[in-house]
Structure 1
Amino acid sequence: MAILQPLIDLPEICHAHGVRYAVISPGSRSAPLTLAFVRHGGIQMQVCMDERSAAFIALGIAQQKGAPVVLICTSGSAAYNFAPAVSEAFFQQVPLLILTADRPKEWLHQYDGQTIYQTEIYGKHVKRSFEFPVDYTHQDSIWAINRVSNEAINLTMTPPFGPVHINIPVREPFYPTNLEKLVASDGIRIIVKTESEKTISTGIWHELLDEWDESRRILIVGGQHLPDAALSKTLAQIGEEWDIPIVADCTTNLTGSDSFIRHHDLFLNGANQANLVPDLLVTFGLSFVSKDLKLFLRKNPAIKHWHIGQDAFLADPTHSLTRQVPVEPQYFFKQLYEKVDYQLFVENNDSSIDSAYGAKWQDMERLALIFKHRKIDNLKSLNDLTSLNLIIKQLNGGYQLHFGNSMAVRYANLLGVESKLGIYSNRGTSGIDGCVSTAVGAALVNSVPTLLLVGDVTFLYDRNGLLIRSLPQNLKIVVLNNAGGNIFRMIDGPAGLPELDDYFETRHAFTARRTCEDSNITYFEVREISALQEAVTEFLKSETISLLEVFTQAEDNDRAWKALRSGIQIAD
């Protein structure tokens, strides 16, 4: 008899904790898990044959929903193929519950197929690893499985969010007969973890406000962050009313104010940066896209540096951190604004902040915008930058944007792209694996027009994300095909090497056309700049999932990138 009751109860526990999505990759050893979740009826199932793509699809769903998504695979190397997405979820703080079926431990090294070391297979790239007992009938085992299931799900949503793994050994037989019904147990115990909101005590606020008052040049800088309208509004008030520059990468997702500094990549590589150095630096969010921003802050350390966020580790990429403030940014900046505003009102004083400092940042932002438009207008070849710039203009802010790693997200940051529907990029580990699949997962659940912009290598590397049965029709894909990738041509080191073409850029002649034919995706292409506007218009008019492939030359892309990256110099 193959009724493994604790596994049948597992989806009911997940559902009670708010899980509504699961992504599975077919396999035999995982059959009890697959059947339990499929027959539960309250969880939407997505099937993907490639485990690597499946895990990134789950990542994309979890990003959008802000809730854990279940991943299920069979034993052996299948579990290893989840690893790239698991590590991305860990560093991007995305909740996943990974369920890997396994063979009992006694079959290791016994020439039994699909049997590897699966216990703690993801190492330090999960918040915690658990393992079910192989006995599913003893009362102690049933108690332990229930406890572990509750704990694992709760842990995915304990700040900072992240992936949690349960390894599940299963003995044969594990397929039910046609007469056996999979019915959850009565009275399944659900253990709810009550989270208390982290706040800052009055005494600490006094310390923070003293440091704030002592600082005349204050700079606020955001890293990767989910869209948050309330946070954007508060930071806009702080920036506009107190002349404090708010610097935001495109993945920071700050919107709604022209005062935000978005084009810092165009001037932070200038010669003289002294006028932009802060006394107090306040950062929030995860990693920066802009290397120039990170190097500027590292080379010009502030006297005081606060980082706001509930991180599990002490992150100090600028080498300047003096205070870690483990609260949510929205709470912190709202309280900061109210407290400082009230203090100024009670004391009947103007802010002591140096308004000339904020004005200098705003001057550089305006100059950068002028410089950008002039340089882009002077680029006459069909290249990645002009193509992306024209496409973004055509969108009119009506799309959620997903950018591939390597050059796509760097182009977006250089151009200061923003979207009220959100900008996403896998900048946790910044790999190219999974960029397509993550966007597919997002589009499956976000119910808004979604556009993915990727390079050719990134697209080709992750085409298996398009092998699911029903692709989201709200997804559009732009592939910038320069026949091998350009990033190694544009960074110091490999650009001057004779091995560049064959061993770094890996030149190729592949296109996306046949992938589109296989996946029933409407295909558009453009090879001349004169045809770009019409091609983009027709592409955006398409009412089904579609792909636009823009063919460019590596040398043209290199020239365009360097023309814009030359930047504007800061006057003494």
Structure 2
Amino acid sequence: MKYPVIPVAQTLILSCINLEIIDVVISPGSRNVPLAIGFSSNQNFNCYSIVDERSAGFFALGLSQKSKKPTILICTSGSALLNYYPAISEAYYSEIPLIILSADRPEYKINIGDGQTINQPFVFKENILFSDSLKQDCIHGTSEIIKSNSQSIIKGKTEYSNLKKLQDFIQMENEKIIEKAFNLSLNNMQPVHLNVPMEEPLYDFENSPSIKVNVQKKINKIKKLENINDYFNEIYKAKKILILIGVAGENLLSKKSIEKINSFPSMVVLKEHTSNVFNDFFISNIDRLIGPIELQENANDIFEELSPEIIITVGGMIISKKIKSYLRNYKAKKHVHIGTNIPKDTFYSGLSHLKISADEFFENIHLKNIDSNYFNVWQSLNNSKLELHNRFLRISNFSDLKVFEILSQNIPKNYDIQVANSTPVRYFQLFDLKNKNKMFANRGTSGIDGSTSTAIGNSVKNELPVVLVTGDLSFLYDMSALWNKNIPINFRIIIINNSGGAIFRILPGFRETDLFSEFIETKHNLSGRLLAKMFGFRYTKVSSKFGLNLVLTTFFRNSKRPKILEIKTSGIKSAKILKDYFRYLSKP
């Protein structure tokens, strides 16, 4: 093992060992050599080399998305750091822990014409939980430090005793900052950034640690709530309670919690596939229910009957724009968010926050005899829309809608699904997953960038194989994700290629023009075939229902290489069929 002689670099490595942070994603450079070599030569860490920092950021996000632990990101100085920004903002809003360590030149070399320098400290501003710049060591590169006429590190005499005393102070301050940042990420499931200024020489190492580090793990204690019974009493009185479950990992609700919820006729649960909660009495297809009602003449009467007195939210971000719009127009009297994640007043109803686990809340509700038909009203409507849904699909032609029907029935039980943003994540919500697969998506900022990189990161930490279902633009946008030697051979990619951003054809206000095609939909004739060949994937292309069903019989079988399946559809036809679908389901 090699330990950098630069104290701040060695301190960061030893701090990660103390806090059992083991996953490290490194992008190449020179200024970050002390960190890159120090981490990668140490057997305590799993280190991954990713050249493209934007892809590296999302790959790290995928690792942490699955592990629920911080991943270290290491880059060199300059614009390299800025390429992390999309992944950092996604991690911030999705509440995924990352620790960014950006190597930097000394402060006195910034803005004086030195190469590869920008103002790195605090560059992520409001899109990160915590940022700080560590103090530069005074006992390393001392002769270079004192050459500068603007440095403020060493003042006065440079005898060893004076430098030793100053270095002890610098070490103490750096350990305080590191301990604070690392524990904030661990306890709050959020990204943090530490800038690491280092003077040359950068390539000096030693075989054992030369400093002792006292950075320790500190666990936040959640206070016991004294007023929880007040919330229970409100629930016992209410006859219309809507529980809405957003993005969640695994095991959000116990069997006991689900049984308690199902025992209340006044409670209805709406969830999405990214909630990763499974129960036959929970409604999983929100847009399939709300979307058609919006088109009905008696929509107002139906929505009034469905409107809740109390909204309870658990989990993170919610995909459905329709449910957000509905609950903003038909406001509940009270909105309670339950969980340790950040609460959001999504429905403009005001917000109360119970900072306890969902199980701690629901498992302690007492069974009560409540006169309510709220659950039955929702279920009756849901069943009627399901019947119309099945009828329409029996007669519909091949399109994006038909593709997702087939995929929802044929992705094997032992696969986790990573789904890209735009239409893929929305289409999936219209169907029940036959095998109740766990599903993950980047819903913090909902961008199409980084979906492939995230999926690969998730697959590396996942005991189960992962399939990414993505659109053509999202896949092409993140093509450098395939430049990664860590891709498991059981990793699968399914591309629905409708030659552009077909989602814009189904949004309100769409008008067909040449400018729309070029600048909004961004029509193209590209495919994934040559990329698959370049990066060593097996590749198959289909363009029909028969072809898709045939390929899926073997696509998920074991192989010596990862695979890409490209499904060619028509964006124009798919948009028309989806609109026809919602009109069909709006029948009384």
TM-score (norm 2): 0.90
Q: Any conservation in 2 of the 1:236–1:259 contact (CA below 8 Å)?
A: no
Q: Is the 8 A contact 1:12 1:40 kept in 2?
A: no
**1:139 counterpart SS class:** helix
Which whole-Å deviations, capped at 9, do the CAs of 1:10-64 have from their partners, x for residues lacking one?
2221122121100011111111110111122110001110000000000000011
Alignment partner of 1:16 is 2:18: yes
CA contact (8 A) 1:474 1:545 kept: yes
Given residue 352 of structure 2, which amino acid in structure 1 is its aligned partner? R
Change (3 A) 1:353 1:442: farther
Q: Is 2:62 the counterpart of 1:60?
A: yes
Shift of 1:327: 2.0
- Residue 322 (structure 1) shift: 4.2
Runs (4 or more) in structure 1 with deviation over 3 Å come to 416-421, 494-498, 567-571
User: 1:347 — aligned with what?
Assistant: none
Question: What is residue 125 of structure 1 aligned with on the other side?
Answer: 127
Matches of 1:187 and 1:8 in 2, distance apart? 10
Task: Tell which deviates more after alignment, 394-403 or 405-414.
Answer: 394-403
Residue 235 of structure 1 deviates from its aligned partner by 4.4
What amino acid maps onto 1:441 in structure 2? G
Select which of 197, 201, 206 maps to 1:169: 197
Correspondence 1:488 to 2:504 = yes
Query: Do 2:15 and 2:213's aligned partners in 1 also have CA atoms closer than 8 Å?
Result: yes
- Give the AA of the match of 2:219: T
Q: 2:233 is aligned with what amino acid?
A: D
* Counterpart-to-counterpart distance in 2, 1:119 and 1:187: 26
1:552-567 pair list within 5 angstroms: 552-566=569-583
Superposed CA offset, 1:211-237 (max 9, x none): 1122111111111111216x0524431
Specify whether residues 428 and 245 from structure 1 end up closer, same or farther in structure 2 by C-alpha distance, changes over 3 A only: same
Match of 1:264 among 265, 269, 286: 286
Q: How does 1:291-310 map to 2 (within 5 A)?
A: 291-310=321-340
C-alpha distance in 2 between matches for 1:262 and 1:2? 52
User: Is the Cα–Cα contact under 8 Å of residues 18 and 217 in structure 2 kept in the other structure?
Assistant: no
Letter in 2 for 1:293: I
Aligned runs of 1:142-153 on 2, under 5 Å? 142-153=171-182
Q: Which amino acid in the other structure matches residue 54 of structure 1?
A: A
* Counterpart in the other structure of 2:442: 426
Structure 1 residue 263 displacement after superposition: 1.8
Q: Which amino acid aligns with 2:362?
A: F
Of the structure 1 ranges 549-558 and 534-543, higher mean CA displacement relative to structure 2 is found in 534-543
Distance (Å, rounded) in 2 between the aligned partners of 1:89 and 1:109: 30
Residue matched to 2:88: 86
Quick one: distance in 2 between partners of 1:35 and 1:282? 49
Please, what TM-score do these two structures have when normalized by structure 1?
0.92
CA shift at 1:190, angstroms?
2.9
1:219 equivalent among 233, 242, 249: 242
CA spacing shift, 1:182–1:507, aligned 2, 3 Å: farther
CA change 1:542–1:563 in 2 (3 A) is farther
Is 1:181 the equivalent of 2:203? no
Shift of 1:294: 0.9
Distance 1:334 1:72 in 2: 42
Q: Aligned-residue CA RMSD in angstroms?
A: 1.9
Counterpart Cα distance in 2 of 1:561 and 1:283: 29
SS in 1 for 2:468: strand
In structure 1, distance between residues paired with 2:70 and 2:371: 43
2:405 aligns with: 389
Letter in 1 for 2:221: S
Give the letter aligned to residue 453 of structure 1.
Answer: V
Deviation by residue 1:319-360 (Cα, 9 ceiling, x = unmatched): 11342222222322223x3xx23xx4xxxxxx2241x11001
Pair 1:357-2:386 in alignment: no
Name the CA shift for 1:540/1:194 in 2 (closer, same or farther; >3 Å).
Answer: closer
Q: Which residue of the partner structure matches residue 205 of structure 1?
A: 228
Q: Which amino acid aligns with 2:197?
A: P
- Per-residue CA deviations over 1:78-99 (Å, capped at 9, x if unaligned) read 0000000000000000010000
Amino acid across the alignment from 1:171 = E
CA contact (8 A) 2:264 2:370 kept: no
- In the alignment, the residues of structure 1 paired with residue 200 and residue 446 of structure 2 have an alpha-carbon distance, to the nearest angstrom, of 40
Who is 2:255 aligned against?
233
Q: Is the 8 A contact 2:411 2:435 kept in 1?
A: no
Deviation, structure 1 residue 567: 6.0
Q: Does 1:98 align with 2:100?
A: yes
Displacement of 1:408 after TM fit? 0.5
Q: Among 532, 541, 545, which residue is 1:516 paired with?
A: 532
Q: Measure, in 1, the Cα distance between the counterparts of 2:491 and 2:138.
A: 43
C-alpha distance in 2 between matches for 1:172 and 1:291: 52
Deviation at 1:148, TM superposition (A): 1.7
* 1:330 correspondence with 2:359: yes
Query: Offset of 1:419 from its aligned partner?
Result: 6.1
Change in 2 beyond 3 A, CA 1:566/1:396? farther
Aligned to 2:277: 254
How far residue 130 of structure 1 moved from its aligned partner, in angstroms, is 1.4
**Distance in 2, Cα, partners of 1:489 & 1:444:** 36
In percent, how many aligned pairs have the same letter?
30
Q: Counterparts of 1:80 and 1:240 in 2: how far apart (Å)?
A: 48
Q: Secondary structure at the match of 1:398?
A: coil
Instruction: From the superposition, tell whether residues 7 and 353 of structure 1 become closer, same or farther in structure 2 (CA, over 3 Å).
Output: farther
Q: In structure 1, how many angstroms separate the alpha carbons of the residues matched to 2:287 and 2:475?
A: 26
Take 1:377 and 1:359, find their aligned partners in 2: how far apart are those partners? 27
Instruction: State whether residues 408 and 434 of structure 2, in contact with CA within 8 Å, keep that contact through their aligned partners in structure 1.
Output: no
Partner in structure 2 of residue 193 of structure 1: 218
Which residues of structure 2 form unaligned runs of 5+?
140-166, 294-298
User: What CA distance in whole angstroms lies between the structure 2 residues aligned with 1:114 and 1:90?
Assistant: 27
Per the alignment, do residues 367 and 232 of structure 1 end up closer, same or farther by CA in structure 2, a change over 3 Å counting? farther
- Give the aligned partner of residue 283 of structure 1: 313
Residues 482 and 219 of structure 1: is their aligned pair in 2 closer, same or farther, counting only changes over 3 Å?
same
Contact 1:76–1:115 (CA<8 Å) still a contact in 2? yes
Is 1:375 the equivalent of 2:392? Answer: yes
Secondary structure at the aligned position of 2:57 is classed as helix
Query: CA, structure 1 residues 307+419, in 2 after alignment: closer, same or farther (shift >3 Å)?
Result: farther
The aligned counterpart of 2:183 is 154
1:522 to partner: Cα distance: 0.9
Q: Is the 8 A contact 1:250 1:418 kept in 2?
A: no
Matched, 1:546 2:563: yes
Contact 1:401 1:419 in 2 (8 A): no
The aligned counterpart of 1:448 is: 464
Three-state SS of the structure 2 residue aligned to 1:453 is: strand
Any gaps of 5 or more consecutive residues in structure 1? 345-350
Take 1:305 and 1:2, find their aligned partners in 2: how far apart are those partners? 52
One-letter amino acid of the counterpart of residue 295, structure 1: S
Q: Could you tell me whether the CA contact under 8 Å between 2:460 and 2:488 is conserved in 1?
A: yes
Once the two structures are TM-superposed, the CA of residue 418 in structure 1 deviates from its matched residue by 7.4
Q: How many residue pairs get matched?
A: 549
CA distance in 2, matches of 1:81, 1:194: 31
Q: Is the 8 A contact 2:274 2:440 kept in 1?
A: yes
Alpha-carbon contact 2:4-2:206 (below 8 Å) kept: no
Relative distance call for 1:538 and 1:505 in structure 2 (3 A) is same
Residue-by-residue CA offset, 1:393-430 (whole Å, 9 max, x unaligned): 11243211111000000011122447655211000000
Bigger drift between 463-472 and 488-497 goes to: 488-497
1 CA distance for matches of 2:23 and 2:434?
Answer: 29
